[in-house]
Amino acid sequence: MHFIDLAAQQDRLRTGIEKRIAAVLSHGSYIMGPEVKELETALAEFCGAAHCVSCANGTDALELALIALGVGPGDAVLVPSFTFAATAEVVPGTGAVPVFVDVDLATYNMCPNSLSRAIEHARDLGLRPAVIIPVDLFGLPADYPEVSRIAEAASAVVIGDSAQGFGGSIKGQMTGTFGKITTTSFFPAKPLGCYGDGGALFTDDADLAVLLDSLRVHGKGAEKYDNVRIGRNSRLDTLQAAVLLEKLAVYGEEIEARNRIARRYTTGLSTKFATPVIPEGYRSIWAQYTLRTDTPAARDNAMSALKAAGIPSAIYYPRPLNKQTAYREFPCDPNGLPNSELAAQTVFSLPMHPYLSEADQDRVIDVLSRA
């Protein structure tokens, strides 16, 4: 059994992907070829954003967003502690300071109450709360309505980190349209992943889209060798765009399949574990299906039982950022981050992909029920 079965997806799409790749080989425009613009248009249409700017990877997308917004020394960027390091690691390079926020233990997304406390703490430290970066963890959109309300009161800008959540929605509004900018990742293991690295940014601000386009190509101006600002080299390869175009064509179907599988997991496991909570009106894309146990020992027992049965599982994330060596000196919610620390000790994720069979799901549910 595969934790994420990219081979099954490739079997389905192989003919179309090979045709797309052959077209790129034929025209030979490997950098910023026509498939890149085609993909950007298709991605924007898919989520309802006015503009999409692709880039080399999801981490670059976050960095480009901060640069475009002019974040720098004296600024605080509020980020959840229970997430992958990329969300925070882009901040110090701008001269700004990451300030860690706790998560809600039901959704694992940024906790609004903790965010409010962290904003006041940043001010007490002499920092300007400039940007808030909620993360759509495990595929579930963050609480954008409340985070946006808090951001507006604090005169801060929201950047949605939808590396795991592109395609999720709140009351029909899709990720990519919340906040000033949304970023995503096309890392191969993501629900919409390419066969290498890739990323994108979404915005409804036309001027911001032009600026992001310049920043990703060395700060280009109207002429090729007139660089009008300090930029980056962060272009999406044409070959990766070609792969993504073929995958995007079935992405809606795959999201439906992920939701069907998640419902089945929840039905089979909700009496034994804390299963994922999806708030009313929210739709997850289920980048991961994550359970929580009462104790670390119970998690160890469950994962050991799965391993003995030949079933893969994983921990996202075994250590919150505020406990990691590179980040432990940065400020955080003055009340601490107890939910992030508890989640890191008690969560684990099960095999989740659109091609997971009911028979394999039954095996997972049976082993965990007996464990």
Looking at residue 223, what is its pLDDT?
86
Q: What is the pLDDT of residues 51-90, one digit of tens each?
A: 999 999 999 999 999 999 999 999 999 999 999 999 999 9
For each of the domains in the chain, give its residue range(s) and CATH number, in order of start: 6-248 (3.40.640.10), 251-370 (3.90.1150.10)
Q: Work out whether the CA dihedral 114, 118, 120, 124 comes out positive or negative.
A: positive
Cα separation of 97 and 259, whole Å?
37
Cα separation of 366 and 191, whole Å?
26
Looking at residue 224, what is its pLDDT?
79
Backbone angles phi, psi at 284, to 5 degrees: -95, 155
Q: Which residues of the chain have pLDDT under 50?
A: none
Cα separation of 361 and 369, whole Å?
12
Cα separation of 23 and 246, whole Å?
13
Looking at residue 361, what is its pLDDT?
98
β-strand partners of 76: 97, 129
Looking at residue 219, what is its pLDDT?
96
Residue 246, both tokens: 């073929």
Cα separation of 361 and 262, whole Å?
10
Residue 143, both tokens: 């609480």
Cis, peptide link before residue 317, omega less than 30° from 0: yes
Looking at residue 84, what is its pLDDT?
98
CA atoms in the 13 A half-sphere facing the CB of 285: 24
Q: What is the pLDDT of residues 82-125, one digit of tens each?
A: 999 999 999 999 999 999 999 999 999 999 999 999 999 999 99
What DSSP designation does 12 have? H
Looking at residue 297, what is its pLDDT?
98
Mean pLDDT of the chain, nearest integer: 97
Tell me the C-alpha to C-alpha distance, in Å, between residue 142 and each of 41, 182, 276, 305. Answer: 25, 12, 14, 32
Looking at residue 195, what is its pLDDT?
97
Query: Can you give the pTM of this predicted structure?
Result: 0.96
Pairing of strands 157-161, 128-132: parallel
Our CA angle for 9, 60, 46, nearest 5°, is 50
Cα separation of 26 and 33, whole Å?
11
